[in-house]
């Protein structure tokens, strides 16, 4: 059975792939770690459904970033897989699962934000962190179940052409593999991406309409910015990748530009924390506070010690004032003033 290479596989462009993956890793990892700390702190103080969803989105992005070095090693090796074969389907499964998790979680966040604005009294009367946790679990399950096709595809090679004869990872497919892969890709593009995009567009469109009737200009402008950024993230980062699934199904093979679309999807791990920063006041305040501490160069323990010393000094000063103003000490203090004051007056007269 012949092996059909993925037309988007261009070994000569491997340094482009490596550069994009490296940039995504270096920029996205610290941003998502900061977002993780912020959302964990917010959930400890006051659990909110939106924060549960955003925390899961951040964890998903971190998983993509932590396994991105596998992709960097592959790209640095000329798009050949130098690692043990077991890591090939595992890294591919996590990579594509996290891409679709982003679409699902962004859609779920849009639903929560719409409900909180369109039905504020009903929403506040029914705390939803537990429901958000169930929705998050469902998103992980649905995305993982769909992307398990990576395992099915890699292990369904013809026995005469096993993975020991192939030094690429998820780039070259046989006809029997394409018969499984292409329909599943089409279904993921329609269900996981298309439905998520429709839900997000509907919820954010109605959210803007509700706010246009009574919200302040500043709040409307912030919400419109959030809507525009989220939809651009959908269309630019995930649109081309999912369109490649539709084109690949029609043509029977992946289009030549599919790998560039995959790179755009990976970049979403950098964009999501930036959306949090610009359109979440809590995230913005926490990041600003952290930057100030780093700029000052004062460790937290030193700041705490200084505060304790100042507090102790204020307590001792209050104790001294109370001691001086006590009846017995007040009389002695007055005698001392009269004694030294009188001596000073006598010297002045002489």
- What tokens appear for 289 in the block? 């506070």
Tens of pLDDT, residue by residue, the chain (350 residues):
444 555 455 556 888 999 999 999 999 999 999 999 989 988 898 888 999 999 999 999 999 999 999 999 999 998 889 999 889 999 999 999 999 999 999 999 999 989 988 888 888 877 678 899 999 999 999 999 999 999 888 887 655 445 445 578 888 888 888 888 999 999 999 999 999 999 999 999 998 888 887 767 777 788 888 889 999 999 999 999 999 999 999 999 888 889 899 999 999 999 998 887 766 666 666 667 666 666 665 444 444 444 544 555 555 555 555 545 555 555 554 554 444 444 444 444 44
The beta strand positions in 215-306, using DSSP E, are none
Long-range contacts of 264-267 (CB under 8 A, 24+ apart): 264/236, 264/237, 264/238, 264/240, 265/99, 265/237, 265/238, 265/241, 266/20, 266/21, 266/24, 266/64, 266/68, 266/71, 266/95, 266/99, 267/20, 267/24, 267/237
d(CA 8, CA 253): 10
- Residue 69: how many CB atoms within 10 A of its CB? 13
CA 191 from chain center: how many Å?
23
Cα angle 328, 331, 335 (rounded to 5 degrees) comes to 145
d(CA 216, CA 221): 9
CA 253 from chain center: how many Å?
33
At residue 158, φ and ψ (nearest 5 deg) are: -65, 140
- What tokens appear for 246 in the block? 């539709």
Query: What is the enclosing helix (H) or strand (E) of 5?
Result: strand 3-5
Sign, Cα dihedral of 117, 120, 123, 124 = positive
Check if the beta carbon of residue 218 is closer than 8 Å to that of residue 126: no
- What tokens appear for 299 in the block? 């460790």
- For the chain, how are helix, strand and coil distributed in percent, rounded to 5? 80, 0, 15
d(CA 145, CA 232): 27
At residue 186, φ and ψ (nearest 5 deg) are: -60, -45
Kindly report whether the global pTM for this prediction surpasses the value 0.85. Answer: no
Q: How many helices (H) and strands (E) in the chain?
A: 15, 2
* Bridge partners for 174 per DSSP: 3
d(CA 60, CA 280): 19
Residue 172's pLDDT is what? Answer: 80
Residue 308's pLDDT is what? Answer: 47
For tokens 């305040």, what's the residue? 285
At residue 173, φ and ψ (nearest 5 deg) are: -130, 150
Report which DSSP code applies to 193: I
Cα angle 9, 15, 248 (rounded to 5 degrees) comes to 20
**Domain architecture of the chain: domains with CATH:** 3-295 (1.20.1070.10), 298-349 (no CATH)
CA 73 from chain center: how many Å?
24
Check if the beta carbon of residue 276 is closer than 8 Å to that of residue 227: no
- What tokens appear for 97 in the block? 């699962």
Check if the beta carbon of residue 236 is closer than 8 Å to that of residue 264: yes
Nearest partner of 103 among 266, 207, 238, judged by Cα: 238
């Amino acid at each position: 059975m012949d092996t059909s290479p993925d037309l988007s596989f261009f070994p000569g462009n491997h340094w482009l792939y490596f550069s994009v993956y490296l940039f995504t890793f270096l920029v996205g990892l610290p941003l998502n770690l900061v977002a993780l700390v912020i959302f964990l702190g917010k959930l400890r103080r006051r659990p909110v459904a939106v924060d549960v969803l955003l925390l899961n989105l951040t964890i998903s992005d971190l998983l993509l970033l932590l396994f991105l070095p596998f992709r960097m090693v592959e790209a640095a090796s000329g798009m050949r897989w130098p690692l043990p074969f077991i890591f090939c389907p595992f890294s591919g499964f996590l990579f594509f699962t996290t891409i679709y998790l982003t679409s699902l979680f962004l859609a779920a966040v849009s639903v929560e934000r719409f409900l909180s604005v369109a039905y504020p009294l009903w929403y506040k009367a029914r705390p939803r962190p537990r429901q958000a946790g169930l929705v998050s679990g469902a998103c992980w399950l649905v995305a993982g179940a769909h992307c398990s096709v990576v395992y099915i595809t890699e292990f369904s090679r013809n026995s005469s052409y096993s993975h020991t004869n192939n030094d690429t990872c998820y780039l070259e497919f046989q006809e029997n593999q394409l018969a499984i892969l292409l329909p599943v890709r089409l279904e993921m593009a329609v269900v996981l991406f298309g439905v998520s995009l429709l839900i997000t567009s509907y919820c954010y469109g109605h959210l803007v309409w509700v706010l246009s009737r009574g919200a302040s200009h500043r709040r409307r402008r912030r919400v419109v910015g959030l809507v525009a950024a989220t939809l651009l993230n959908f269309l630019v980062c995930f649109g081309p990748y999912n369109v490649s699934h539709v084109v690949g199904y029609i043509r029977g093979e992946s289009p030549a530009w599919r790998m560039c679309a995959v790179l755009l999807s990976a970049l979403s791990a950098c964009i999501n924390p930036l959306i949090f920063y610009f359109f979440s006041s809590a995230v913005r305040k926490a990041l600003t506070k952290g930057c100030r501490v780093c700029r000052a160069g004062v460790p937290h323990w030193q700041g705490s010690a200084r505060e304790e010393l100042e507090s102790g000094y204020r307590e001792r000063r209050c104790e001294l004032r109370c001691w001086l103003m006590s009846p017995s000490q007040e009389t002695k203090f007055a005698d001392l003033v009269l004694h030294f004051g009188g001596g000073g007056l006598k010297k002045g007269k002489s």
